[in-house]
Structure 1
């Protein structure tokens, strides 16, 4: 019998286009880029599972893809390839995550709770507890854009833990705030652990990770470098950080440059071929391995660019709109233009006055 899990991600990649201007971004959306836009792969084939009732820590240096992975699991952003199977409702806690800057704290509470599927009566019943836990005073009635990072974290954490999610994702939310609020957060997290809720905990604080997590995944420049028991993975990560700190400034720069270059040079087609070859060896009698792998990688992906049929449809609609505008400007009827298309570039100089105007005269 397969082990029960709450979260399972397989062969997850995430690509970002490094646009220099907004026009480049727009051209890419409509597939108009003639020159190659540089790419950066934040994740390069990450696969892992989180068991029901488990607290999994995500550690790694800045820019390794920890927050990207947590955002994909929570459904905030789509993956480029791979499958994400999440059994239950997720609630992510990150500084300012999901908060609308122009809305007040009170309005954000209602909005986020509604987005989590709560009804207005349910939100009203929870409102006092949320407000009390956040403890941001009169700022509750001010726009969130005026909040400090600590206040945003307080409000976001309070909303997330009170909507009672199946899966709680905490992304550096305990790195800000005073000791009193930090202790409140720890107590609430321990309540969730006692209730056997599943938690994904992203943090740079190894002490917090050791205190809270059952297992740890070390995300290293877009790859899953190691996953296992907390003591083992955290111990190996400490050895790496000690080694890195011992390098000279030039050696550090060279190491980071190489790792970032690897993320730019990642070949998703080669990655797909590797998976296909491995599966073909495991399933030698399956003639559909290649199509199965392609479906697994792209079948559940939401494209962030227009598909070819949509591009064709968009251009067709644009051409029709321009055509009818030209017909209108020409002063000729549509029937006349269809019979004699050259008339569209020969506008009439006769001003046709409506009959109603002549009657007034």
Structure 2
């Protein structure tokens, strides 16, 4: 049975550099001639069964984190669909954490956001703190935490909310190896409990150690998807070839790849989805302003 189905998913952004251009977009019902659509992801499709672990690999800027946010339902695709049988949870450095809150306050806030009751949070609180190994730092605002400490807290919270789909985005790239191995052991336990895991990492060793399959994202598109060792081997070969290039050749290669991610200004999917999002944002802002003005006026005349 498929746990996650991703079909023809694209995520498009506007590469406008001027704030005036974005402001014009809010009042326009047509796509501007100088709009710069950019495909962070283009026509991505794959299926994952319950209990499978998928390693997501690719060069920096290829769209791995964009895909992670889509799988976690943090953002929505411009086109295409993502079907998830159950609830997903994203683990990334600082993902969903409030810098002004203490570690304890973040634990309670995030657990409640995942639908846990106060009683359930209280019952799991000590286990979360123990797993994070933060000790007395749990009482401190997380703005004082190192990236490794943030990762520990985020991982400890996520695994104790018992998600059906766990998405780990580079969260194990910081901190010590002992804690990383502890997290991998916990993810293996999730696998045994038929949980689905997406693991974003630059470490081929970690991916081979944990994952059944690998998804190679290459500048917004799926380069290869399948058995983990085979895909990772092909990816490593590509990386080795890339590293043999001079710095100038690497920059030229990346520039060529990024150019392919750009679309023409009249791209229909960009016009339909992104324009609608901008216009809805403007409507909400305008309504909020009107309501605020009316409330202020009523208070003044009383």
TM-score by structure 1 length?
Answer: 0.73
Distance 2:20 2:266 in 1: 26
Q: Which has the higher contact order (CA 8 A, sep 6+)?
A: 2
Matched, 1:105 2:103: yes
Cross-structure match for 2:16: 19
Distance 2:70 2:82 in 1: 8
Secondary structure of the 1:88 match is coil
Farther off after superposition, 140-149 or 24-33: 24-33
Contact 2:34 2:265 in 1 (8 A): no
Matched, 1:234 2:232: yes
Contact 2:92 2:151 in 1 (8 A): yes
Cross-structure match for 1:305: 278
Q: Residue 266 and residue 69 in structure 1: after superposition, are their counterparts in 2 closer, same or farther (change >3 A)?
A: farther
Contact 1:78 1:302 in 2 (8 A): no
Q: Deviations over 1:19-44 (max 9, x none)?
A: 32445434433438856232221001
Distance 2:102 2:241 in 1: 46
Cross-structure match for 1:189: 187
Cross-structure match for 1:87: 85
Aligned residues: 288
Contact 1:56 1:199 in 2 (8 A): yes
Contact 2:54 2:197 in 1 (8 A): yes
Q: Residue 246 and residue 196 in structure 1: after superposition, are their counterparts in 2 closer, same or farther (change >3 A)?
A: same
Q: Deviations over 1:314-353 (max 9, x none)?
A: 69x98xx9xxx9xxxxxxxxxxxxxxxxxxxxxxxxxxxx
Secondary structure of the 2:51 match is coil
Cross-structure match for 2:113: 115
Q: Residue 305 and residue 50 in structure 1: after superposition, are their counterparts in 2 closer, same or farther (change >3 A)?
A: same
Distance 2:21 2:266 in 1: 22
Q: Deviations over 1:255-309 (max 9, x none)?
A: 111001111236884899xxxxxxxxxxxxxxxxxxxxxxxx97xx9942216xx
Q: 1:91: Cα distance to partner?
A: 0.9
Secondary structure of the 2:261 match is helix
Q: 1:180: Cα distance to partner?
A: 2.4
Structure having the higher Rg: 1
Distance 2:266 2:202 in 1: 29
Distance 1:249 1:69 in 2: 28
Farther off after superposition, 16-25 or 69-78: 16-25
Cross-structure match for 2:151: 153
Matched, 1:207 2:205: yes
Q: CA RMSD in A?
A: 2.8
Cross-structure match for 1:10: 7
TM-score by structure 2 length?
Answer: 0.87
Contact 2:164 2:195 in 1 (8 A): yes
Distance 2:186 2:160 in 1: 10
Cross-structure match for 1:339: none
Q: Residue 110 and residue 53 in structure 1: after superposition, are their counterparts in 2 closer, same or farther (change >3 A)?
A: same
Q: Residue 267 and residue 242 in structure 1: after superposition, are their counterparts in 2 closer, same or farther (change >3 A)?
A: farther
Farther off after superposition, 232-241 or 261-270: 261-270
Contact 1:58 1:219 in 2 (8 A): yes
Distance 2:35 2:147 in 1: 34
Give the gaps of 5 or more residues in structure 2: 298-302
Cross-structure match for 1:350: none
Q: 1:190: Cα distance to partner?
A: 1.3
Q: 1:251: Cα distance to partner?
A: 2.0
Secondary structure of the 1:131 match is helix
Contact 2:25 2:275 in 1 (8 A): no
